[in-house]
Structure 1
Amino acid sequence: MFLTLPTFMGFLALAVIPFLLERFIVIGFTKPQEKRHALYYLGTPITSLLVYISFAALLGHPMIAFAGWVLVYGGFTVVSNLKNGVLGEPLVAHDLETARHLFIYPEFYVDYVGSTRLLTVVGSFVGTILLSYIFEPSFASMQSTLPTWAAWALGLIMWILAIAISGKILGSFLHPARARRIGFTFDINTDVARFGHFPLMLFYASMLMNKERSPALSVKHQPLSHPGTKPDIIAMQAESYFDIDRLYHLIPGHADHSWQPLNALRAAGAATGALTVPAWGASTMQSEFAFLSGTDNAALGIDRINPYQRAAYTGVETLATRLRAAGYHTICVHPAKKEFFRRSTVIPKMGFEEFIGIEAFEGAARFGPYVSDKALGDEMEAIITRHKETSDKPLFLFAITIESHGPWDAGRLANWLDEKALEEADPSRDRAFALFRKHMDNVLNLFTRLGPNASTKRSDRPRVLALYGDHQPACHELFAKHGFEDRAVDYILWSSMGDIQNPGKLAVHELGSTTLREAGFEGLEN
């Protein structure tokens, strides 16, 4: 009989152990005080059994299935806590889709997880599989009169169908409106505290199968209207940019520190200010989508965590589509692999006629591990020159920097400068932040080059520049040490048509319209 006492005890253990593991899940830098929802107690054993049965159907052996279960529950616990330690939020279902990024940019992840940990986990799992195949009979050989391979294939097909149907049903039940009524906020820390880490994986994955999208994505704007010569518009999303004086002013003895490159831009007529963004430490796509679409990230429901996973595929109106309809040529340039965050598919869908990636930077200078902002500036100037030689259309150029991407480990810039001297000269006396600050100097040099310093080299078409940070750098310990708790980044706006009246603190989804207004477009919504 299949349901023997040992089998029953095994399934009971699989249902109970996850409740113990949940106690090891770290939630946020400061754990939210949330009461567990009833779905936590229902979802925890169901999720655990689904994981085990899925491995059992796929791999066909009891102990291999258990090894898979241990890999998922143990591995997710460790990786989730590592992610939380850096970014202040646990692992969620959306992160599973980004696992493909391990093969695109392994250094973005392996450097944080550690190659030794990764190899140990993978090696243990592979070793367990080999031992189990040698010494353990399969489910199919124990249960079926069919040939073993046929019984295994039939069981796997039936299980895949069952999972797909169940996922669709659960996803339909947890549609956006009902999910919010139940208590889902789509703030990761709050939802993990309420519903549990492992059940939330199941709930979020099911919601992603629901095709209903946020009504906020269906908003249509009036066509853009401009009374005169339309200026070129250059927008830059600068990796982890923020006004570093906001930190330095909290460090004893540095309350009057002045970041000279930024002050020079202000003297040249640039407006600067704080910018609220949905992301912190990572999740670039949240701020990027909010800027381009003009949509408040909080209004996206399940898509707020990764808008590029689903929302951006649905024909969203963006800054690029609006400017393209107004006669602009639209180009996006990013000196990195275009497949990251699926930008190779997403960026054209959001209205860009050209998307220039790492292929244009072969042999380009680097500053640290990545293409330098100086090399990015060279390419941007070349793009502008080529455009002016072949077209009389105004240009919308959106650039995404990468030079300052973390982590900022010792030795990162050793081939370019004296890191020890840089650390000693920095008010933070922190090696990582001193290296990061050097990258911030470079991004301001890029802005100055394309803005105030470019005025004598430009044709008679005006130019408007906008720069903003996608999120703050993942420097939680340093920030906490000095009481720096503000999660906002900063923006810079400059126009060749004259000084800009400072618009004050903005949200990133408002910055696009603000830029259009400074470019002279009329009839924009408030």
Structure 2
Amino acid sequence: MQRMPCRVHNGIFMSAFQVLVSFVVIVFLTPAIEYAVVMPRAGRQALPFRWTLDILCSMVAYGGWLAATGSIPIALLMTCALMAVTVVASNIKFRVLGEPLLFSDVVVARSFLQHPKFYLFSIPLAGRIALLVLAIAAPFLLWAYSCAAVLPHLIGVGVLLLGGLSIWLYPAQKLAPTPDITRDAGTLGLPGSIIMYWRQWRRSVDLPPPAALQGKPAYDMVVIVQCESFADPARLGLPPDIPLPAMPGLKRAYDIASQWGPLCVSGFGAYTMRSEYGVIFGQEETDLGFRRYDPFLTAGRERDHAIGNRLGAIGYKSTFIHPHDLRFYNRATLMPTMGFSHMVNPGPHASTPDMPYFGDVALGQTIAGMMQAATAPSLFYAVTMENHGPWPGGPDGQSPLHHYLRHVHNSDRMLLDLIEDMSARNSRALLVFFGDHRPSIPGIVMPSGIRDVPYVAISFPLDDRAARQNPAPLTPAQLNHLIIRMSVQP
């Protein structure tokens, strides 16, 4: 294929018409697309610096495409397309998860390539077709209509640098002093909030090291189970005609727990790593600043806070168990630095439509076998997968819900099995079981301000005096503090 020649009329690179169209697109069209379409709409303001940030971001995109292709029409087309795709993707995420796009979502691109089914289900059919067309058309357009002349590429570099430098001169600390994405998406716009949050994230300081624990292991084994999308169906606000599964495990756990109640998590339908980080590291999201949106990105610099290292210092041997790809959130690299000297990846699992992931009951059996084989005080941290979406759809619109309820019932059975197994052992043990976030089931379970999930902390041998307390709400960080307090004998 031969690229089309670049035509320069009368020795002038940019005609007056091209200059006018470029000005209209950068100054009016792309900012208007962002302002008119992006969600959330509450708190949206047409502030001068929001519009200016949109213009500067459009300049960066336009300059980048022009520097790459040398073609003004292609640069204009791709600039509009990039803004439209970014806004639509953000709106889809907002409807499903209750948050717009964040700077930290860039790392999702790698996960999307590794496991696309985690993400494609949330994109409407029309959107998938549009993405396919764009993926095919964009490389063709970039090749076929790019220009070999040097001048347009140099002008593109100049526009790119001018826009980028202007954005960098904006005072991120003044525009976004504290993380509040709902507020800042309305005042800074989507591209502006992404860039300012990224700049503030880069300025984040590391946490000071924690005080060393003093004492010895209070238990022979501590088992922490982070259960994917685990929630009490009775608290999900489901339609009244939906038969709810019995949850004997959760009921039994509430009856015998030393402490139980709602775990107040920030994510909905995703962001497992936020809950996981809180329970492992014991740091409140309010103290993390802009790291709160994906704390695993900087977790390697805070390893001294990890529960594996802290409990390991007083004699616990720590094991991390997860029946899925350990590359997610870079766990394969991070967990050993967090003090988990053993990594267990149960399986393999033959995926079926009814059971796409490793089952929770089987994972509970794996944990029971590891407890049986333990010869020293041990910490087992397990992350489940059975409840992970997407759940198969159907013509009635409620099939995903029915699949979820069946899987969450299996999670409850795992909890009951672990309770019975640990009750039968002649050993001191602590079982902590919690959900990482509520499920997102479009049209049925939607994002809202109510996001709590259950947690229980059960000490064996059972002590009737500690049972049947009133529920005690905790954050994931506070659950970490509870685990450490119970696991250390002064």
TM bucket by the smaller chain? 0.7 to 0.9
* In structure 1, distance between residues paired with 2:299 and 2:168: 21
Q: Percent identity, please.
A: 23
1:495 aligns with 2:459: yes
- Once the 2 structures are TM-superposed, how far is the Cα of residue 452 of structure 1 from its aligned partner? 2.9
Matched, 1:371 2:371: no
1:266 aligns with 2:254: yes
Q: Is 1:246 matched up with 2:235? A: yes
Offset at residue 368 of structure 1 (A): 2.0
Partner of 1:187: 180
How many angstroms apart in 2 are the aligned matches of 1:515 and 1:65?
55
Which residue matches 2:486? 518
- The SS at the match of 1:478 is coil
Aligned to 2:386: 403
For the 8 Å contact 1:245–1:258, the answer to whether it is kept is no
- Once the two structures are TM-superposed, the CA of residue 410 in structure 1 deviates from its matched residue by 3.1
Partner of 1:149: none
- Mean Cα deviation higher: 441-450 or 274-283: 441-450
After superposition, give the CA deviation of every residue in 1:303-353 in whole Å (9 maximum; x if it has no partner): 111112234445451211101111111111111111112222222232221
Tell me which moved more, 393-402 or 117-126. Answer: 117-126
1:86-97 pair list within 5 angstroms: 86-97=96-107
Count of aligned pairs: 473
TM-score (norm. length: structure 2): 0.85
Question: Secondary structure of 2:427's match?
Answer: coil
Aligned to 2:3: none
1:310, 1:164 → 2: CA distance?
29
User: Who is 2:269 aligned against?
Assistant: 281
Instruction: Give the structure 1 partner of residue 130 of structure 2.
Output: 120
Distance of aligned partners of 1:85 and 1:20 in 2 relative to their CA distance in 1, 3 Å threshold? same
Matched, 1:72 2:86: no
2:193 to 185, 197, 200: 200
Q: Cα offset for 1:365?
A: 7.6
Identify the match of residue 435 of structure 2 among 444, 464, 469.
469
**TM superposition shift of 1:494:** 1.1
Q: What amino acid maps onto 1:511 in structure 2? A: L
SS at match of 1:408: coil
Segment drifting more, 113-122 vs 284-293: 113-122
RMSD across aligned C-alpha pairs, in angstroms? 3.5
Indicate if the aligned counterparts of 1:26 and 1:84 stay in contact, CA closer than 8 A.
no
CA distance in 2 between counterparts of 1:256 and 1:42 reads: 51
Q: 8 Å contact 1:313–1:346 — kept in the other structure?
A: no
CA distance in 1, matches of 2:118, 2:36: 25
Counterparts of 1:264-343 in structure 2, within 5 Å, are 264-269=252-257, 271-343=259-331
1:72-108 deviation line (CA, Å, top 9, x unaligned): 1121122111111111221222212211111111111
The 2-side partners of 1:385 and 1:170 are apart by 60
TM-score normalised per structure 1: 0.79
Change (3 A) 1:128 1:212: closer
2:6 is matched with: none
Aligned to 1:416: none
Q: Which moved more, 1:315-324 or 1:17-26?
A: 17-26
Alpha carbons 1:186, 1:305 under 8 Å: kept = no
Deviations 1:24-67 (A, max 9, x none): 43434xx4335455531321100011011112223443333334
Match of 1:81 among 91, 115, 120: 91
Which residue, 206, 210, 213 being the options, matches 1:223? Answer: 213
Distance 2:298 2:358 in 1: 29
Aligned in 2, Cα 1:520/1:24: closer, same or farther, shift over 3 Å?
A: same
Q: Who is 1:361 aligned against? A: 347
Alignment of 1:159-198 (within 5 A): 166=165, 174=172, 179=173, 181-198=174-191
Q: Which ranges of structure 2 fall in alignment gaps of 5 or more residues?
A: 1-11
Cα deviation, 1:363-389, whole Å, max 9, x if unaligned, reads 468652111112212322333344x2x
Distance 2:60 2:164 in 1: 14
The one-letter amino acid of 1:374's match is: V
Could you say if the C-alpha distance between residues 71 and 33 of structure 1 is closer, same or farther in structure 2, counting changes exceeding 3 Å?
closer
CA distance in 2 between partners of 1:37 and 1:310 (Å): 33
Residues 479, 485 of structure 1: 8 Å contact kept: no
Residues 1:37 and 1:294: Cα distance change in structure 2 (over 3 Å): farther
Which residue in 2 is equivalent to 1:46?
56
The change in CA–CA distance for 1:465 and 1:70 in structure 2 (over 3 A counts) is: same
- Residue 7 (1) aligns with residue 15 (2): no
Name which of 141, 151, 172 aligns with 1:143: 151
> For the residues of structure 2 that align with 1:165 and 1:76, how far apart are their CA atoms?
18
Aligned residue number for residue 448 of structure 1: 416
- Report how far residue 395 of structure 1 moved: 0.8
Deviation at 1:493, TM superposition (A): 1.3
Which residue identity lines up with residue 496 of structure 1 in the other structure? Answer: F
Change (3 A) 1:449 1:257: closer
Q: Corresponding residue for 1:20?
A: 32
Contact 1:333 1:398 in 2 (8 A): yes
Q: Deviations over 1:119-158 (max 9, x none)?
A: 4334335335425643x451x41528xxxxxxx6x89999
> 1:508 — aligned with what?
476
- Matching residue of 2:5: none
- Give the 3 Å change call, closer, same or farther, for CA 218–447 of structure 1 in structure 2: same
Amino acid at match of 1:6: F
